[in-house]
A and B are shown apart, each in its own frame.
Chain A
Amino acid sequence: MNPATLIARDELRLMRRNRVAVIACLLLVLLTLVAVASSWAHQRGIEDLRARHQQEAEHAFDAQPDRHPHRMVHYGTFIFRPLSALAAFDPGVDAFTGNSMFLEGHRQNTANFGDVNQSSLLIRFGQLTPAFVLQAVAPLLLIFLGYGAIARETERGTLRVLLMQGATRGAIVRGKLRALGTVALLVALPAILGLMMLAGASGAAILPAAAIVLGYAAWLLLWITVIVLVSAMVGRSRDALLALVAIWAVSVVLLPRVAPDIASAAVPLKNRLQTEVAIARDLRRLGDAHNPNDPHFAAFKQSVLQRYVVKRVEDLPVNYKGLLAVEGEKVTSALFDRYSGESYAAQGSQNAIVGAVGMFSPAIALRSLSMAAAGTDFAAHRGFLEQAEAYRYDLIQRLNRLQADGVTYADDTASDAGADRRKRIAAGNWEKMPDFTYRAPDGATLAAHALPGLAVVTGWLILAGVLLAFAARRLGRHPGERR
């Protein structure tokens, strides 16, 4: 048997004998199992609820009686964002984004009713998910188990003995790495198995699941390397422990919270009131469909009359009010898109700033990797919002065209007692409207989004590995070593 294996075995035996270590490992595995189970149950609950609400909303829309099409423009529709397959592993921003949206004419609404506004203050302490356990808790356990791996031997002088007995420095370091790696594998296994089950159940999520496994493997390997590195560089195990806990606290707890503050100070976000007032201002400048003397809509009217070669809107073969609604929606939607595009861009650059800080805190990189692959990051949410807006626009314009083709201008402008009846079109039209189907990004796209984060974590892993190789060569010649 080679020395590295022997050393790994010896280290593992020592951990096994340490009752606290065994209990801690068991607790962590238990915590992971609870996290997997509760997160899965929670997500299933949400999924069922949203599917039920979605069905109710669609049914209610289809079941509307005969109506004037513009009534349906205001009736609007609710859509609910389905969860991604891996959301139970890492729900990401789902709790913060809100999951239902009301789509109506003339307005671009935001997603509402996020969990964060429906939960107690505890939600801000973090959410118990497998991702959280692997990101924050597992590294700390590895620190407690491994801080003394080499420092202890240095401190007690056993390192000399090992070296004299013929173990190379490389073999000692490899042995310690292997022992810690075994523990890491043990504690990560429940979460990984849970992930595999989720990916297997959905079938489509193999690639992103692989990206997640790779990412967390690199993350835990990074910690193992850093632990052995610090343990080798610092002569005393006490200092190794303090240094490692400090590194953990700064990179896992502190920086991920500081980075968003830097980002939000650097890139201000327009609030809703500012946006709405600005949109209203631009609309006034562009033209007002309600104002018959408005230049923009006067020109529009002229172009319509020319196209149909008639003198008056009353002579048009279609309902002019419907055409006007189509045009109005086109104008307002273009504005909404411009403003929401600006807001997305601002949020994108905020996230880019956080990502840049992530270069110094692989925890941030890992988190974005994990969310991106799970399809629960801002980019995925933005994808949903954009699809929702495209659907809204299409639906409203279909309704507006129904008004143009299905309601006569004479009826539409009449206000006698029976006019209301004549303005309505058959209820069967509502059923013909397409339902919203969210097209989730495919596995390859999700996995591709995870690559930058994976690159950062891997880069750190390589750096730590190189540093460890250097430190290993100096092992046993440490000036601070006690004799």
Chain B
Amino acid sequence: MTLWIHEARLLLRQRLAIVSLGLLAVLTVAALVSGMAQVSRQRAAIAAIPAAQAEDIGAIAAWVDKEKDAGSAAYYSFHPTWDAPSPLAFTALGMRDVSPYILRVRALGLEAQIYDGDTFNPELALPGRFDFAFVLVFLAPLFVIALCHDLTSGEREAGRWRTLAALPHGGAALWRRRTLLRAALLWAAIGVPFAIAALMSGVAAGAIIVILLLVVAYLLFWVGLSALIGRLRWSSVANAASLAALWLVLVLVLPTLGHVAINRAIPVNQGAEIALAQREAVNHAWDIPREETMRAFYANHPQWADSPPLGTAFHYKWYFAFHQVGDESVAGRARAYRQGLEVRDRAARSLGWVLPTVGVQAMLTRMARTDLVAQIAYRDRVRDYHRRLRQFYYGYIFRDRPFGKADFNRAPRFDAAI
């Protein structure tokens, strides 16, 4: 134990070590604070939904109540859905800055609504977010390199190496002690602020432990890489240079190459094509006999087939039917689009088995539920909710039941449970 304390004292006498560890801790705290601020802004935006929604629906209800027309109610009412950030979201903001976490839908064609984005500033999103995942994946390795690149070469250059190797508890045991001590201090600089922030945010203990282990593993990867380079017996400067080059390749060059390769290898039909096709299907309905649309609709939804036949005047049930038929006509494309995205995502994840940088980022965003999988899951919940909305309004429209003020409160509410 005294040997460890002695080593620690030696290490902490170096200005570079103190500055590095302090800086890393400060950066970690800053990233955590920034992530938490971001998440709390998102929570606040979600918390503000009910008031805005009540105002909006209230005005529509007051106006619809006069005619009691269920079709108008369904047409004009937007219903909010939201994707609340998970307790861990602050560690890795992932896609949450560029994909919507609030989306209002109405009972019309869903394919024309579900890909809508929210307002965001593209120039701010471009460089990527400054969050815990960034500090861990991008910055922490640089600190490992700074502290570990000259463990043996430095002693050799100072002419102490032989002496140290000959000491009792020297040699391999000494280097192991020094390496582990550095790794442990770096881990503490990252892990302690994280653990505190996670506890404050109510993250489950299991998740905290997993992430702390992930940090250990990732740091050990870089420590191991430094040790490997150190064995080549180059000068300290050559070690630092080659480690920094490795960092560049692993953190920036290979992931970007991987991105190009994946997008090239797995073509995804552009989402715009779904929108184009859906619009054609929906608008085509105006040019064909209305009965044709109704037949197509009733074939898939026999529960409404006993609705009275259409008269000559406009009826909302026809309008909603052709929107749904339009959705159904592009269902195959929508599925293919989604599958394409999933395949791309899986390919990126499997790249994570080879590239620890990608692996850690993927794992953190997965645990934080801020990745593409989470985004697709949110879309699924919106789809499910939209189905219930249609069901609800059809009950009025197809049965010609009046839709009054009180009925607005009966509309299904989005279930935010993940």
Contact = CB atoms under 8 A, between A and B. Distances in A.
B78 A276 contact: yes
A38 B264 CA distance: 9
B146 interface: yes
B115 interface: yes
Contacts of A110: 116-117, 119
A429 interface: no
B104 A53 contact: no
B263 A119 contact: yes
Interface in B243-286: 244-245, 248, 251-253, 255-260, 262-264, 268, 270-273, 275-276, 279-280, 283, 286
A254 B251 CA distance: 14
A377 B124 CA distance: 11
B86 interface: no
B259 A347 contact: no
Interface string B342-386: 001101100100000110011001000001100100000000000
B329 interface: no
Given A125-B259, A128-B259, A241-B240, A416 B312 contact: yes
Nearest to A415: B313
Contact of A116 (B59, B125, B129, B237): B125
Interface string A257-281: 1101101110011111111110011
B123 A31 contact: no
Nearest to A57: B276
Contact of B104 (A60, A100, A273): A273
A378 B119 contact: no
Interface string B112-136: 1001111111111111111000100
A71 interface: yes
Chain B, interface SS category:
helix
A122 B124 contact: no
A245 B150 contact: no
Contact of B248 (A140, A271, A417): A140
B25 interface: no
A20 interface: yes
A155 B78 CA distance: 72
B37 interface: yes
A137 B286 contact: no
A367 B122 CA distance: 14
Contacts of B52: 273-274, 277
A53 B276 contact: yes
A261 B240 CA distance: 31
Nearest to B27: A254
Interface stretch (A89-97, A213-221, A301-309, A319-327): A89-97
A22 interface: no
B126 A93 contact: yes
Contacts of A368: 123
A436 B194 CA distance: 52
Interface in A124-174: 124-128, 132, 136-137, 140, 144, 147-148
Nearest to A277: B52
A117 interface: yes
B226 to A, nearest CB: 14
Interface string A235-267: 001100110010001000110111011011100
Contact of A38 (B49, B253, B260, B358): B260
B292 interface: no
Interface string A81-117: 0000000000011001111101000000111111011
Contact of A126 (B78, B252, B270, B345): B252
B80 to A, nearest CB: 7
A80 to B, nearest CB: 8
Contact of B361 (A93, A121, A137): A121
A280 B262 contact: no
A326 B407 CA distance: 34
Given A122-B255, A277-B55, A350 B124 contact: yes
Contacts of B16: 242
Contacts of B45: 271, 273-274
Contacts of B112: 102
A80 B275 CA distance: 13
Contact of A118 (B251, B257, B271, B275): B271
A133 to B, nearest CB: 9
B250 to A, nearest CB: 10
Interface in A46-92: 49, 53, 56-57, 60, 64-65, 67, 71, 74-76, 78, 80, 92
B254 to A, nearest CB: 9
**Size band of the interface chain A makes with B:** 35 or more
Nearest to B348: A120
A119 B272 contact: no
B252 A125 contact: yes
Contact of A117 (B80, B98, B119, B258): B98
A84 to B, nearest CB: 15
Nearest to A242: B146
Contacts of A284: 59
Contacts of B186: none
Contacts of B142: 245, 249
A237 B276 contact: no
Contacts of A148: 237
A117 B97 CA distance: 11
B117 A125 contact: no
Nearest to A71: B286
B125 A96 contact: yes
A475 interface: no
B252 A136 contact: yes
A366 B387 CA distance: 49
A34 to B, nearest CB: 8
Nearest to A245: B244
A98 B361 CA distance: 24
Contact of A112 (B125, B236, B275, B345): B275
Given A118-B341, A136-B252, A271 B150 contact: no
Nearest to B138: A253
Given A260-B130, A274-B45, 12 more contacts: A34-B257, A114-B98, A125-B252, A128-B259, A137-B248, A242-B146, A245-B240, A260-B125, A261-B129, A268-B41, A273-B49, A351-B123
18 contacts: A42-B260, A71-B286, A78-B272, A102-B112, A110-B119, A112-B275, A119-B263, A120-B262, A120-B345, A136-B252, A140-B248, A242-B240, A254-B27, A254-B130, A271-B118, A273-B80, A284-B59, A347-B121
Rank and list the top 5 A-B pairs by shortest CB-CB distance, nearest first. Answer: A120-B348, A93-B122, A125-B255, A260-B124, A122-B259
Interface of B: 16, 27, 30, 34, 37-38, 41, 45, 48-49, 52-53, 55-56, 59, 63, 78, 80, 94-95, 98-100, 102, 104, 112, 115-130, 134, 138-139, 142, 146, 150, 236-238, 240-242, 244-245, 248, 251-253, 255-260, 262-264, 268, 270-273, 275-276, 279-280, 283, 286-287, 312-314, 341, 344-345, 347-348, 351, 357-358, 361-362, 365, 371-372, 375
